[in-house]
Each structure stands twice: as structure tokens, then as C-alpha cells.
């Protein structure tokens, strides 16, 4: 079981001091026009350069490195010119947890977390006979003969059952994509910024019923980087520190090949376990959170996460998100950059950048007024993880 006393010592001891990302909208168009001039390492290097500038530190200050998926740590270090004293690899949420633990433990003082992906320009497929990721998710192996070769197909089954149980309508589900599009419209770096109406959402073709085109994330090239260090050092730096206040993790694997955790539980067991840990460590509850970023490879992640983390009762997420509640000016803004559906699909990394900008109050027109606490939630394939960030000071 997690040790709450040890976790309490980690809370607020590490901060994010720099973020950088690439030019998603520009590079999306360049990929469509076949004018790409970067690979995954090129995008990563540009994001890293921007994160260093944002933090006001030099490359020589970096003594730790975490390489995101698609990148080899050795090659990334070579490209960036870093010989780290500590290194690791991991997806966005695990990278943040690993960096916080390493810094708190004294393995490194200033860690760069770097991600790059040229998934669009190289033609990565997330479904079909050459689906990327199938080797990592056991259920793909079992259901491939029936065409279930993608997370989209599996989440469509979850959505269909949720609709049958709780009466969710397609227009209710569309509220998620429309809310995120309204945020994206205020984000110059978002790929999809055109207004999206209920009629346009419902006119979108089914990719895997009941999930439509606008329920699916983008596939685009890009890079993201973050710089993390001790809270003490962060307080001596120019920008407002964003503290890692709570972390939580719980994997739900038993019965995965029968889809039981998906279809019976909607991963709520993992949600509840992770929520208890992350809220306890941060010393806050759902009512204290000013904005939430939810991993949204598909729109329905938002429904399941809201219920599992206690933002609304089970079966009531459709009512909770109605009438613009999760969009600009709503009671709980969600995916305020446009998320994976409208800003960019950076596998959760761009959500971290948005949280930092919101808590530093640098988000411009989409700024959530007075934002002090923000939560990130990911529950991909039952691997439920969450981070709560806190703005230092008032």
C-alpha cells in the first residue's frame, strides 16, 4: 500500500520551472503538404530549447534526463548535448512522477523531460493490421481476429455500454468535443480552431460507433519539454513555481483480456484508488481544483474520469458537462488548450504544459481566473495515474 507519510514528504518539494512546445498548427499543415523538415528528435530538440529559455537555465544546468516514448535515451542525450547523472524513460505522467522522486531523493537537481513524435509525417497507424501499440496491450492480441485492433474500438464498446446503462445521448457526448474546441479557438497554437456546433458534431462520420470523428484525437507531429527542479531552487528563479503537490497511480489489469475492467467497472476501481492517494497527498479535494486536464485520446475519457475521481456521481457525467460547464467560463474548465481533440495529440505531454501556463497565469484569452490548483488525470487501458499541481504563492 502507498505510504502516506513518505508521500507527504514528497508533496510540494519539486517544481516545474520551464515548459516548451513546438508549432503544432504550422507543422500539421507542413505534414499535409509533405514539407516536413524534422524527425521526432528534431521536434524534441526545439521543445527543449524553448523550455530552457522559459526556465532561464542553461543546458549545462541539466543533470537529469527523461526521454518520452518514441525516443531512445542515448540518442536524445547526444542530440541535446546532455550527459545526465540520472536518466529514465516514460510517458508523460510517469515521467513527472519519476522526476519528482529522483529530485526529492537527491539523484539529480534539474531534470529535463523531453518528448518528440513525428507520428503523422511517418504514417503511424493506431488501428488496423499494422496498429502501433498492439504489442503493449494484451487485449489487442485476443480481439484482432474480430477487427478490434485499436483503442478506439475498445473505447467504443465502453461508450456503448455506458449509454445503455445511463441514458447518455450522442449530443451529450458531443459537449466534450465542442467545449474543447471553444478553448482551442482561443489558442493560436491549436490545430483545430474552427467553431464546432452540435449539428456539425452529429454530422461527423462514425469511426467506430458510437464514437464519431470529433470524439477521436488528432494525429500530428510535435514535441514537448519540461524542466523540473527542487522547490527551493525554483523559488530563486524568475517565474512563479508550479509545485507537484500530489501524485497517484493504480493499475487495473485483472480480467483485462475479457474487458471486464472496461465494460463492468469503467476503470472506476483504479480511479477511486488513485484519487484517494493523490487528493490525500496534496491535501485537497475535487472542490479545490480550478481546472482539470484529462488524457483524451477519445472524448469519453472525460466522462469516466469525472465520475471516478468524485467530480460527480456515477452515471451523471452527462448532466455534469451539460450547458458549457466544462468549457470557457464553466464551473470546471477541462482541457483548456483544446486537448488532444483540438490542440494536438502529444500523448498527455501538452496537458502538462497547459497546466503550467494556467497556474502561472500565462494562458491569455483562455486563462482560468485565479487558478491555483490543477489536476491531470490519465486512465489509458486501466493504467490510472494523476498529478495535482499547485501555484506557489497567491
Q: What is the mean pLDDT of residues 102-128?
A: 94
Given a contact cutoff of 8 angstroms between Cβ atoms, the answer to whether 89 and 116 are in contact is no
- Output 128 or 314, whichever has higher pLDDT: 314
- pLDDT tens per residue across span 34-92: 999 999 999 999 999 999 999 999 999 999 999 999 999 999 999 999 999 999 999 99
Residue 323 to residues 48, 328, 332, 358, Cα–Cα distance (Å): 39, 11, 12, 23
- Output 354 or 139, whichever has higher pLDDT: 354
- Beta strand spans in the chain (E): 14-21, 64-67, 86-89, 110-117, 206-208, 211-212, 222-230, 242-251, 291-294, 373-378, 383-391
DSSP state, residue 111 = E
- What pLDDT, on the 0 to 100 scale, is given for residue 392? 95
- What pLDDT, on the 0 to 100 scale, is given for residue 189? 98
CA distance 247 to 9: 12
Among 118-127, 140-149, 151-160, 294-303, the range of highest mean pLDDT: 294-303
DSSP assignment string, 119-156: TTTTT--SSSTT-TTGGG-HHHHHHGGGT--SHHHHHH
Indicate the pairing of strand 64-67 with strand 110-117. parallel
Rounded to 10 degrees, the C-alpha dihedral 387/1/230/235 comes to 60
Could you tell me which of 157, 172, 160 has the C-alpha nearest to residue 259? 157
Q: Is 19 left (phi over 0), alpha (psi -120 to 50) or beta?
A: beta
In the structure grid, which three cell numbers stand for residue 54, read together?
522559459
Residue with cell 542530440: 79
**Computed over its alpha carbons, how large is the radius of gyration of the chain?**
20
In this structure, is the dihedral angle defined by the CA atoms of residues 302, 308, 313 and 316, taken in order, positive or negative? positive
* pTM over the 0.75 mark: yes
Q: What is the mean pLDDT of residues 236-247?
A: 97
- Output 128 or 11, whichever has higher pLDDT: 11
- pLDDT tens per residue across span 304-347: 999 999 999 999 999 999 999 999 999 999 999 999 999 999 99
Could you tell me which of 209, 227, 283, 288 has the C-alpha nearest to residue 100? 227
Q: How many of the other CB atoms lie within 10 Å of CB of 393?
A: 8
- Give the pLDDT band (50/70/90) at residue 149: confident
| pLDDT of 258 over the 80 cut | yes
| pLDDT of 134 over the 60 cut | no
Residues comprising the chain, all counted: 394
As a whole number, the mean pLDDT across the chain is 95
- CB environment 263-288: b (16+ within 10 A), e (fewer): eebbbbbbbbbbbbbbbbbbebeeee
- Give the pLDDT band (50/70/90) at residue 151: confident
- What pLDDT, on the 0 to 100 scale, is given for residue 101? 98
CATH number for the domain whose boundaries are 4-123+220-235: 3.40.47.10
Rounded to 10 degrees, the C-alpha dihedral 357/358/362/368 comes to 160
What are the backbone angles phi and psi of residue 377, rounded to the nearest 5°? -130, 135
- What pLDDT, on the 0 to 100 scale, is given for residue 272? 98
Q: How many of the other CB atoms lie within 10 Å of CB of 242?
A: 25
DSSP assignment string, 358-394: HHTT--GGGPPTT--EEEEEE-GGGEEEEEEEEES--
Q: What is the mean pLDDT of residues 153-163?
A: 96
State the burial class of residue 346 (Cβ atoms within 10 Å of its Cβ: 0-12, 13-18, 19+): buried
- What pLDDT, on the 0 to 100 scale, is given for residue 143? 77
Amino acid at each position: 500500500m502507498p505510504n502516506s507519510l513518505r508521500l507527504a514528504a514528497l508533496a510540494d518539494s519539486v517544481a516545474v520551472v520551464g515548459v516548451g512546445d513546438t508549432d503544432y498548427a504550422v507543422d500539421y499543415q507542413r505534414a499535409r503538404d509533405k514539407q516536413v523538415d524534422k524527425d521526432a528528435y528534431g521536434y524534441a530538440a526545439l521543445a527543449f530549447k524553448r523550455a530552457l529559455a522559459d526556465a532561464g537555465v542553461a543546458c549545462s544546468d541539466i543533470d537529469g534526463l527523461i526521454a518520452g516514448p518514441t525516443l531512445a535515451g542515448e540518442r536524445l542525450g547526444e542530440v541535446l548535448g546532455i550527459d545526465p547523472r540520472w536518466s529514465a524513460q516514460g510517458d508523460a505522467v510517469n515521467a513527472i512522477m519519476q522526476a519528482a522522486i529522483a529530485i526529492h531523493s537527491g539523484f539529480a537537481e534539474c531534470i529535463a523531460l523531453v518528448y518528440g513524435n513525428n507520428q503523422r509525417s511517418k504514417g503511424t497507424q493506431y488501428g488496423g493490421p499494422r496498429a502501433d501499440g498492439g504489442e503493449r496491450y494484451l487485449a489487442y492480441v485476443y480481439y484482432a481476429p474480430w477487427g478490434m485492433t485499436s483503442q478506439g474500438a475498445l473505447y467504443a464498446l465502453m461508450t456503448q455500454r455506458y449509454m445503455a446503462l445511463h441514458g447518455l445521448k450522442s449530443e451529450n457526448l458531443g459537449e466534450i468535443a465542442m467545449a474543447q474546441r471553444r478553448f482551442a479557438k482561443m489558442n493560436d497554437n491549436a490545430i483545430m480552431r474552427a467553431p464546432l456546433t452540435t449539428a456539425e458534431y452529429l454530422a461527423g462520420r462514425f469511426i467506430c460507433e458510437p464514437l464519431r470523428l470529433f470524439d477521436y484525437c488528432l494525429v500530428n507531429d510535435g514535441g514537448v519539454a519540461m524542466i523540473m527542479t527542487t522547490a527551493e531552487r525554483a523559488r530563486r528563479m524568475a517565474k512563479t513555481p508550479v509545485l507537484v503537490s500530489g501524485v497517484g497511480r493504480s493499475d487495473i489489469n485483472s480480467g483485462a483480456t475479457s474487458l471486464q475492467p472496461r465494460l463492468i467497472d469503467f476503470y472506476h476501481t483504479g480511479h477511486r484508488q488513485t484519487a484517494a492517494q493523490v487528493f490525500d497527498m496534496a491535501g485537497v479535494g475535487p472542490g479545490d481544483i480550478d481546472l482539470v486536464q484529462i488524457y483524451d485520446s477519445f472524448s469519453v475519457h472525460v466522462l469516466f474520469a469525472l465520475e471516478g475521481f468524485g467530480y460527480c456521481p456515477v452515471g451523471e457525467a452527462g448532466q455534469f458537462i451539460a450547458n458549457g460547464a466544462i468549457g470557457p467560463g464553466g464551473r470546471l474548465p477541462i482541457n483548456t488548450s483544446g486537448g488532444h481533440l483540438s490542440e494536438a495529440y502529444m500523448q498527455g505531454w501538452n496537458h502538462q504544459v497547459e497546466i503550467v501556463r494556467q497556474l502561472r497565469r500565462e494562458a491569455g484569452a483562455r486563462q482560468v481566473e485565479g487558478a491555483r490548483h490543477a489536476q491531470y488525470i490519465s486512465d489509458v487501458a486501466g493504467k490510472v495515474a494523476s498529478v495535482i499541481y499547485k501555484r506557489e504563492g497567491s
